[in-house]
Amino acid sequence: MATFGDLGNVVGVRRAWIGAQGDLVIGGRYISEIDLASGSVVVRDLFVGLGDRQDRGELQAGHFLEPFSLEIGAPSYSFPFMETSPVSVLDPLRSWGLGIFRARFSETTFALGVFQAGTGPNDFEIGDGSTVGLTGKLTAAPINEGDGERLVHVGLAFSERLPERGVIVIGVPQQATLLGLGDFPSSPFAPRISIPASFQQLLNLQCAAANGPFWTQAEWYGTWIDQRGGGGVFFHGCHADCGYFLTGEHRPYQGASGTFGPIRVNRPLLGCHATPDRPAGWGAWELAARFSYLDFRDSDTPRGPTGQLVGLRLPDFTFGVNWYLADHLRLMFNYAYVLPDGPNTGTSAANVFAARLGIYW
On the 0-12 / 13-18 / 19+ scale of CB atoms within 10 A, 19 is exposed
Q: What is the pTM of this model?
A: 0.84
pLDDT in tens, the chain (361 residues): 333 333 333 333 333 333 333 333 345 666 656 665 555 667 778 889 898 888 889 999 999 999 999 999 888 888 999 989 999 999 999 999 999 999 987 789 999 999 999 887 788 888 888 999 999 999 999 999 999 999 999 999 999 999 999 999 997 554 333 344 444 555 677 778 999 999 999 999 999 999 999 999 999 999 999 999 889 999 999 999 999 999 999 999 998 889 999 999 999 988 765 667 888 889 999 999 999 999 999 999 998 888 888 889 999 999 999 999 998 899 999 999 999 998 888 899 999 999 999 888 7
On the 0-12 / 13-18 / 19+ scale of CB atoms within 10 A, 163 is buried
